[in-house]
Structure 1
């Protein structure tokens, strides 16, 4: 029985390297000509990067392969792997639908195609034999025009409950000059009844407290307990949680070792701020959710009791989990029931 939830995973980074390599082979992509062997490709795809900006460039490679024609290939394999190898019952998948439309078309034509992308992802996620609940989060983007981002907010509202929330992604340095714009869009989203999360306080370049009141969850947010712990009481009062993705901070050069997260967890637990442990880009890291748990335990960042608290919090903060309890509690309650009478 699947037991866990991942609240922060990008479609662009969800494809494991072997599956992407096979797709590139079958589609006879020119990308594959850059690598003599699969091992060279895997090294390129999963190697740590010098910065978040360099790390985000890999997303562009994957996004260029994901269209309404190819998305079922990627989504179906994602669902099977998440259910079978990660024990996931619930996965919130986030992406920017505009970036899954042909770049050769006009902006208006691409906007018109976005609903089809959302429908394609939803249909492909229904894989027989793999009962994984996978609502979508639509990502506004720092490198897209205001009109496109506004259209994605409206699309998210039109596609509830298939879409459960909006996010803002892209390089966090670009937030500064457009902060009023994103505050307006997130405020409007809340007025439309949408749930909200956003990439914020991931790096020292992404610290914008003015956007915090408009978010229900905070994508990453590790710089708050590390460098702005005075904000933690506000987070606790709002019931916000941090979506912490341990491997990401090593891959982007934000942290040099997982053990540095000990301060993040300690200060959040002390302040009453929940943390949910996520993968962010499981394929790009070639690391699945159970490995994220193990890395934190091995580095003595958290103990098993704290790990269970984080796992329980992931269902409590899930935007579209339909039950009052996580599946582990449902299973425990069922096992405690008296056995049904045997049939003669």
Structure 2
């Protein structure tokens, strides 16, 4: 039964190792020629990295094969797994459409091709077989020029049938040298009525208070409660939600021990700041959302009541969830037993 919402999952990092290996075997075996077998590939694909930048390099492996022709293949398998194994009722997929266009084209030609990518992802995500409510978040990228990033914002505004928000990705340590650009782009997105989130305060190098007022949700944001708890009342006042992805911080070397997240959750709960628990890159991690829940409970980072609060927050802050309540509440009403019928007394 589908019960959960996933607010932070990258299309590039969502492909589980086995699916990616089979695709490479059938279509581009040269990309895996250096691996003797599947276990060796899986170990390479899912092992922890030393830094966020090193970790993000893995996205290029998948981006290179996620094209107009192949995206339906990957999305079908992604949604099948999300519905059957993760009990997802709602999924926001984020990615940079420009990076799915052919590299041999000019910049303007690639910009023109982005709309086709969004449409393909949107149509491929509508599966009667696996009825999950889906929407897309289009990611601007720290290593793309201003013209491309502005075109991504424009595309989001023109594609509200499929797109619910914009984001900035590419490693939060790279924003500083172009901070004025990001402020202008987010201001522009807000002026167009586009929802906003952004990879921010994930690492100690990605702390930019100037960007916070432009965001409805904060991608990761764990350094706020860890290093800048004085900002939490402002987040609570603005109704911002943190998208916390526990396994990511171990895989990127951002945290050394998952139990460091207890302070994140405790301070956010105390300040009234919502947290949605997410996977980020379920494929790269080889984990699913229920595992993230279980891990947090196992290490006594949160309790069951707090877990339920995070699950409720995920639906409350979902940009495109069409209902006023989460599925569990709707299901309770549906399954509520009818009162016994009172038979009329006969004379």
* TM-score (structure 1 length as normaliser): 0.98
Structure 1 SS opposite 2:168: strand
Distance (whole Å) between structure 1 residues aligned to residue 32 and residue 180 of structure 2: 42
Partner of 1:174: 174
Partner of 1:55: 55
Query: Mapping of 1:246-257 within 5 angstroms?
Result: 246-257=246-257
Q: CA deviation at 1:128?
A: 2.7
CA spacing shift, 1:225–1:76, aligned 2, 3 Å: same
1:131 and 2:131 matched: yes
Aligned to 2:276: 276
Does residue 326 (structure 1) correspond to residue 329 (structure 2)? The answer is no
Secondary structure of the 1:311 match is: helix
Q: How far apart are residue 125 of structure 1 and its match?
A: 0.8
Partner of residue 64, structure 1: 64
> Residues 115, 340 of structure 1: CA spacing in aligned structure 2 closer, same or farther, 3 A cutoff?
farther
Instruction: Map Cα deviations across residues 37-70 of structure 1 (whole Å, 9 max, x no partner).
Output: 0011000000000000000000011100100010
1:335 Cα deviation from its structure 2 partner: 1.9
Report what 2:214 is aligned to: 214
Q: In structure 1, what is the equivalent of residue 35 of structure 2?
A: 35
How far has the Cα of 1:29 moved from its partner?
3.1
CA distance in 1, matches of 2:249, 2:117: 30
CA displacement, residues 91-150 of structure 1 (integer Å, 9 cap, x when unaligned)? 000000000001111101101100000000011112232101110000000000000000
Compute the TM-score of the two structures, normalised by the length of structure 2.
Answer: 0.97
Bigger Cα Rg: 2
Structure 2 residues without counterparts, runs of 5 or longer: 342-347
**Secondary structure at the counterpart of residue 12 of structure 1:** coil
Q: What does 1:292-307 correspond to in 2, within 5 Å?
A: 292-307=292-307
What is the alpha-carbon root mean square deviation over aligned residues? Answer: 1.0
Please name the residue that 1:202 is paired with. Answer: 202
Task: Find the counterpart in structure 2 of residue 26 from structure 1.
Answer: 26
Q: What 5-or-longer segments of structure 1 have no aligned partner? A: none
> Following superposition, which runs of at least 4 residues in structure 1 exceed 2 angstroms of deviation?
none
Range 169-178 or range 330-339, more displaced = 330-339
| Corresponding residue of 1:146 | 146
Q: 2:119 — aligned with what?
A: 119
Secondary structure of the residue aligned to 1:57 is helix
Match of 2:262 in 1: 262
1:241 partnered with 2:237: no
Offset at residue 173 of structure 1 (A): 1.4
Cα-to-partner distance string for 1:226-274 (whole Å, 9 max, x where unaligned):
0000000000000001000000000000001111000000000000000
What residue is the counterpart of 1:229 in the other structure?
Answer: 229
Partner of 2:4: 4
CA distance in 1: counterparts of 2:20 and 2:155, whole angstroms: 28
Partners of 2:63 and 2:7 lie apart in 1 by: 20
Cα-to-partner distance string for 1:148-201 (whole Å, 9 max, x where unaligned): 000000000000031000000002111001111011111111110100000000
Aligned ranges 1:89-108 → 2 under 5 Å: 89-108=89-108
Partner of 1:286: 286
Query: 1-side partners of 2:123 and 2:333: how far apart?
Result: 32
SS at match of 1:128: coil
| Number of corresponding residues | 341
In structure 2, how many angstroms separate the alpha carbons of the residues matched to 1:265 and 1:172? Answer: 22
